[in-house]
């Protein structure tokens, strides 16, 4: 029988414990310290530990060298960062005091609480970045309410629209992404502290006070679910996955628009990279980085969902130390991608002339010609569509407004059985892309009045979101300051 080398086995230390120790130092140290402060104050407030014990523990916490804790190397002497810190506190205030600090809590509720505290900050940063990106797009849309461009279906030119109309579609994506992330924030920002291992405690703790002290907006109520449920992770991952899929679609368009063949978009020199061999190259690689970072964050979100799928409903390491760095990486990459969208769209140059040129080509406005025949000649839309379609086919790809009207007029007796009655000037006007846009004024359309109404609506929503962001930012900043300046007197009143 092999001799037991003692805990931890070298391979276990190298492959798991040392890595998790470093991740905890990087992501969760601040939250762990704040939990320690709040828990000591709560225990004293509830008279579960004497004031003298609480005071000694608080002084030990005040004396922690956080820089040294962040720099410490894993040696195997302690299982994890929690026990490493516990020993440091024991040295500072003695085992008789430090030992009381762990009354009515477990590493289980501590771990889930620190994960949520770290994740809510990342979520708030992501929401703030999405809000900023939306503000940039709103400004660019206001500048381009009358910038005519082609809309595409199946990657082919379809109908004239405006750049503002296109950007509003992206803005609405961001609106919905922000709503989903706000909902995830509400789920994340619930306190598990007091659940202990999974069934709470017989001590008279105050979970609500603890939650408020740590900046939470309520409890993760049921103690079993506080430890076992993972939907705070999966809801966040789902919101990030949706946002990054949306972002990838936009990145793909922007990259196409930046090609010489499209020529709609030009990034300034600050945003392009050169070739090491081709002197002429101006590579819009930030847009490629946006795309790959969005894809990477999506893959990480899928990894989070896959990792927690079919795990037991209880305390389980699958959702803890090994998974949490993936969650943090997912949030970081999504943030980078959204910031790139804001930065590139803030500074890019738009070739309005090229957009207008392409909107006037490729028969893009002939839907309105068919609509005009319905209105002016009393045709059914299917008759008008058939007549216009036949004219497009006869023109063999060579579009010109007058020639198109001539062709439709010539074909009408054979196709519909009589000449057209609609004045020629109206038929020619129907092929003007600006006319095409201006008469599509119903809600959600590209006409200037419809676009202005939509922008006013999104600006109202954005103002409400700004207030939400300010409120949550204040919440997370204020609790931290309260914790940092906490003393026993503050809990006696």
Say if residues 328 and 24 touch (Cβ distance below 8 Å): no
Which residue out of 131, 135, 154, 165 is catalytically annotated? Answer: 154
Which residue out of 275, 380, 421, 490 is catalytically annotated? Answer: 275
Question: What whole-number distance in Å separates Cα of residue 77 and Cα of residue 84?
Answer: 8
Active site residue 154: yes
Radius of gyration of the chain (CA): 31
The helix/strand/coil state of 73 is coil
Residue 148's DSSP bridge partners are 162
Least Cα distance to 181 among 120, 249, 250, 229 occurs for 120
Q: How many residues does the chain have?
A: 493
Q: Provide the angle, in degrees to the nearest 10, between the axes of the packed helices 107-143 and 231-257.
A: 30
Least Cα distance to 218 among 185, 178, 179 occurs for 185
Question: What whole-number distance in Å separates Cα of residue 345 and Cα of residue 137?
Answer: 7
Beta-carbon contacts of 400 under 8 Å, excluding residues fewer than 6 positions away, are none
Distance of CA 465 to the CA centre of its chain: 14
Active site residue 487: no
Question: What whole-number distance in Å separates Cα of residue 178 and Cα of residue 181?
Answer: 5
The helix/strand/coil state of 405 is helix
Catalytically active residues, by annotation: 154, 275
């Amino acid at each position: 029988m092999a001799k037991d080398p003692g805990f931890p086995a070298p391979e276990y230390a190298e492959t798991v414990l040392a890595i998790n120790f470093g991740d905890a130092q990087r992501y969760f140290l601040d939250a762990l310290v704040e939990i320690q402060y709040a828990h000591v104050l709560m225990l004293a407030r509830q008279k579960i530990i004497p004031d003298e014990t609480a005071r000694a523990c608080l002084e030990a916490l005040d004396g922690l060298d956080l820089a040294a804790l962040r720099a410490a190397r894993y040696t195997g002497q302690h299982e994890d960062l929690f026990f490493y810190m516990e020993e440091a506190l024991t040295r500072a205030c003695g085992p008789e005091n430090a030992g009381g600090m762990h009354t009515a809590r477990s590493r289980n509720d501590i771990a889930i609480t620190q994960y949520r505290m770290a994740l809510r900050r990342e979520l708030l940063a992501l929401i703030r970045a999405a809000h900023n990106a939306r503000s940039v797009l709103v400004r660019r849309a206001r500048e381009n309410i009358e910038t005519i461009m082609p809309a595409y279906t199946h990657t082919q030119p379809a109908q004239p629209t405006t750049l503002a109309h296109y950007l509003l579609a992206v803005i609405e994506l961001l609106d919905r992404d922000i709503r989903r992330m706000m909902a995830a924030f509400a789920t994340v920002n619930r306190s598990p502290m007091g659940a202990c291992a999974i069934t709470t405690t017989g001590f008279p703790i105050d979970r609500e006070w603890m939650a408020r002290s740590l900046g939470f907006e309520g409890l993760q109520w049921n103690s079993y679910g506080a430890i076992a449920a993972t939907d705070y992770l999966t809801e966040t991952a789902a919101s990030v996955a949706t946002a990054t899929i949306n972002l990838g679609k936009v990145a793909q368009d922007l990259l196409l628009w930046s090609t010489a063949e499209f020529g709609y978009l030009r990034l300034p020199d600050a945003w392009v990279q050169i070739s090491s061999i081709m002197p002429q190259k101006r590579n819009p690689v930030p847009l490629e980085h946006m795309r790959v970072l969005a894809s990477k964050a999506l893959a990480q979100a899928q990894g989070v969902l896959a990792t927690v799928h079919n795990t037991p409903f209880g305390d389980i390491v699958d959702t803890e130390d090994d998974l949490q760095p993936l969650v943090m990486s997912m949030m970081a990459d999504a943030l980078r991608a959204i910031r790139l969208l804001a930065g590139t769209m803030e500074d890019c140059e738009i070739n309005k002339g090229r957009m207008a040129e392409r909107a006037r080509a490729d028969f893009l406005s002939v839907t309105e010609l068919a609509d005009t025949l319905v209105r002016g000649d009393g045709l059914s839309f299917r008759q008008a569509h058939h007549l216009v379609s036949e004219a497009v086919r006869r023109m063999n790809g060579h579009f010109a407004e007058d020639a198109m009207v001539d062709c439709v007029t010539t074909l009408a007796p054979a196709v519909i059985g009589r000449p057209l009655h609609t004045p020629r000037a109206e038929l020619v006007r129907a092929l003007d892309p600006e006319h095409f846009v201006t008469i599509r004024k119903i809600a959600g359309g590209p006409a200037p009045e419809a676009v202005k109404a939509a922008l006013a609506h999104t600006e109202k929503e954005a103002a409400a979101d700004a207030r939400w962001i300010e409120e949550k930012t204040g919440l997370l900043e204020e609790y931290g300051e309260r914790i940092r300046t906490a003393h026993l007197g503050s809990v006696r009143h």
